Amino acid sequence: MRKGLVTITKAWVLAITILVVAVTSGALAGAVSDSLWDHVPPRNHIRTNPLANRPDSVSAGALLYREYCQQCHMPDAQGDGKKRPPLRSEHIRTASDGDIEWFLRQGDLRHGMPSWSGLPEAQRWQIVAYLKSLQ
Concatenate the DSSP letters of all residues of 4-36 into one string.
HHHHHHHHHHHHHHHHHHHHHHHHHHHHHH--G
pLDDT tens digits, 61-78: 999 999 999 999 999 999
Same domain, 42 and 19: no
pLDDT tens digits, 4-31: 555 556 655 544 545 444 444 444 344 4
Same domain, 30 and 40: no
pTM check: above 0.75:
no
Same domain, 76 and 23: no
Nearest CA to 56 among 135, 123, 134, 119?
123
Same domain, 8 and 45: no
Same domain, 54 and 110: yes
Same domain, 10 and 69: no
- Domain containing 29 equals 1-34
Q: What is the number of domains present in the chain?
A: 2
Same domain, 14 and 55: no
Class of residue 70 by CB neighbours under 10 A (exposed 0-12, middle 13-18, buried 19+)? middle
Same domain, 5 and 63: no
User: What type of residue sits at position 81?
Assistant: G
Same domain, 44 and 86: yes
Same domain, 75 and 95: yes
Cα separation, 1 vs 66, in Å, equals: 76
